[in-house]
Structure 1
């Protein structure tokens, strides 16, 4: 039997996770696990796991070859408690030398911000030492490293409140009131000391088996992100307790916003569901901004009337109307809770039993998504209004724009009363964050398209309908910044792009990790039956990842007279769609491209129907379609006059479907007609001007007199053509 590798033995010895005696004890289960196979390190790791010398989390990290990540300062990680995003993670740990378990929150701010953030957190730690209540937990130590900050806190045993709900549903009224009493006492003391939590959610409330409640991470979020960011990639649960005054403004977290968030969380614990259950973060925010929380007794009849009134006061829309003395609320929590009876469970539901078919129809209506659309149509307008307010106050946008403007870039002017932004000169302009209720048009001049330079933040447009005309978006030539995810991030119901250019300086051999997409799109309201229409005409995209990336599947896409040079795909679909996606391609030229359409990366089903005409496709592997992940795909290609430079394949070999379709799943099918391989001669190299991409096609019979591919006369002028003017 082979022994464990010296590297594994040394690492576990340094972390005090396995002694020589432990290795001897592990030999027997290791032999049973391996049977007659070689005893690799993974077998030894499984044996130590069976002996409970390692936790499942530690074993997983070791199997992945990431054992060094278990060491954080003088601590060894035991388990992950929550969060594993790009900016922070929380872990259960203990000192390598032994001792009780602690919670480590690892923050990953930008290196330039580490000194100032560390100073703020030190002030929180010093102030929190005066806390006497055990129901609020703030960090008590801080470790600063070159690229991260580690906060050390007491570990609160038990599960977080969301896990409690998922395991057992709504909590009894008496239990919630006792949790509230404890949290009122602790949070009230923190507020008197001038400390604000800033991130009260169910995940921040931990409850032990003895019903001892703790509010963890006191003061951390207020230092990390003092202003609310509604455009970050977070689930709707993050925003369930957002106070109305923070939405669409630069208002920081305050004691009043803490009270609102805690009231929303307690409402959730009583009812077993959030006050505004929505599948979209924007709809959640819009509801909190525009609607009062309903009475909790409508959903949990055993809640005492007195405590229901407490929750109504805590979640008042006006911050001045919320309770300021949490000690008084603690006293009011001593009201007697009543047991839920069968009569209470039917309170307010007589109509449901009298007309059961009405209830069934309502359920089907809600599941169809139509209920969300009609209920939140006004709320979507509210979202646009609050986004308009935040577009001028977003901390990320301001810092980015200030940096750009300091380099003599022009600021994009604000929209006029009709939502039109006229870029009267060629710029360059600094990419900005612009939001408008209603339609938004960003327009340059045909003869001198406006140049917008993109650094680490994209041009972010948010409106009901967005139109881009006569604009050139290019990445900065600087090397100190990371590549943005897209040159233009569009959040709108419908999108039209005419006579625009998208160019990235992130070449194939760039030191940057990835090239951006030209355009990334997602709808504001995915249930809107009138949305999801995308049009791209007379445009050029060079050296970008994807010409258009769809975070949500649209309904219809029209691409006309578009030149794509050295892109990985023309269209990329991340999420499955509820209905087939209708794609029309006409007069498209793709040079040195990866594929035409890429789909997948999430489980689900997607159907894409393409009608392609009069196009020239130079594809690296000859594949029209590329599938990623476990998405079930149906892909059809119809049309005429599409010429490829090599033998036509529907799917790339590396992404071809190999699994048999499961019962009930969308059938995996790919079929094409109207595509033929021919002899294509381009006027010049792909790195040359647009005119070098004019194609001469032979060897393929054609019905039309005009050559396939782009119409050069309709393309916008290149940046070099007017930069010197």
Structure 2
């Protein structure tokens, strides 16, 4: 497979189709995708324009094609990773396509015939010679439960069939390849995930969970079957509030007897009854009840039944002592529940109840038959709506015929020529006017805003007695700066990729005259390890003659390029300037535009970042917006896409009016939708997360905001009184909340926020300068042990730490 640094065929991976140069993946990748059914050749051709936009003048490596297929939802990130790194995991089993890894030899898979999602668990044994025997026994078991399957309770998820990696038409018991057990997919959360995210469960919820699990075990007993692995990861709460016991039979078939080996882990010890440890004894109904008792005890306490890091010690303690009464760590546990759990977890099997049906009869007298507590818990989960809906596949971009490109380019060029003057956003009363008039009104409403205090100077001292002229661009397009040194900004232009780099700490400082903007022009611009700030005009500066009618520049840096990448930088706008933009990105004509911001701080007055058009791709990671105005400003003009995606990861916004202001120009779009995907973010705006200013003719129902959660981790955490989105009501002449029907904000987690202060921040002098902007804690469920928002340690340093 073609990796980084390898060329694809002739002339940078291009092939000739008519008179146009077409890109194509490597033959090996194309054959792998098509023969495995992951992608058709038509879908590859439809992704070609998107790959062209991503690559620009660079070769189209296979990794770029995989990235395009991921963004077009043809492949999942896990599938692309397996293909790229050649991990040896097959991506298909029979008619099922493996889409994601859910755990140890467990995968989420899609039925290519029905289009539904299932869970596949591998039955591959460590001893490959036993695989045919295991498959044969499982096939006999599935045949035996075919008749009683219809009477199984809803709380028990039984396997439906077995499939092989290859030769799906052959009998799986005769093939030498690995086989998978297919079960339905329960959308929701495992008990293990609930304990990690929110701590112990209420006793009312545990009462309903215990009853549903006992119903499942009683049915298995009546069918003379055993589950074999009753642990927190195999019990799931569905988005509708149902309780389901999953993964039956798998562990019992792969490991009929529990063995204490050198590879033993604490995870392997979950649910193991004392009589099974090192005795060679097989499991029975009483050992199943012991596992159930340990599970319920753990749900009530949010910790294992024995606290130890050694699996052997854990087994020995369970063998020598009964598990303590659950009311000792949880005094509010009902007496009847603790009594039953105590009887289930006796170390001697003869002292436990004889059957699950017997325990179920006792349990039901106290728990009832409803699931109201479980349903309430499911509805309260912040990602409830995200897990409830089925993610639909997105159709790839359809490539137009080659003769359409000249006409399209001409039309876009003509549109850009007649564009009107740019507009901006007011913090309170937004009106359509010139950009200078709009941003000038910020002064009257931002008097009480807070400013991040910057360090005074580098402790190590500057490298010279004064600022140096900015170095010229070398032949490779680099401007290399020294750490801690000050430089005077000068305009730079380069036909290719321009890179301004300082790779050591502290950051280099570029000083920009307060009466001019610093202009950079290139096809692609990358800035790393730099602090941008203004300086006053001195007598030694060359006086620039003012032109008639010329407006004073209100941008510190104007970057005109198709691709802008900023990392490890501090953009310090003047604190008193509200009619200001730290960085203004201007898109060249007919360019798509890519913005990538990493580990960067925007502070001071006005906006931190602005776009004259929405970029095709905009990603922010570990970014702090501490501006008095707003974090970002984006304008929508005629010819722009009606839908714009903004991806934020570990982004913190503080002190300003909003994270994003959008201005829709007159005679521009008829409708607009903004999709803000947030993962591990913290937004604390004074007014709203998103503010919109639209022409008078655009109604509110033409504006839509969708807040999306990332694939994992915490969503966006915001204060409870934060409004998701506001727009200007022309009749009231003031901002009002966007109608609820136009806002999808189920992924926002409302919680009281506590940030670090001078006393709680670490005293270590090597700590980050930005700890006071980091989140200390918030009230609500935590999906990860690390607080959302910025990682201050990864943000750039402006001073050198003492040794």
TM-score interval (norm. to shorter): 0.3 to 0.5
Greater RCO, CA 8 A, separation 6+: 2
TM-score under structure 1 length normalisation: 0.44
Give the structure with the higher percent helix. 1
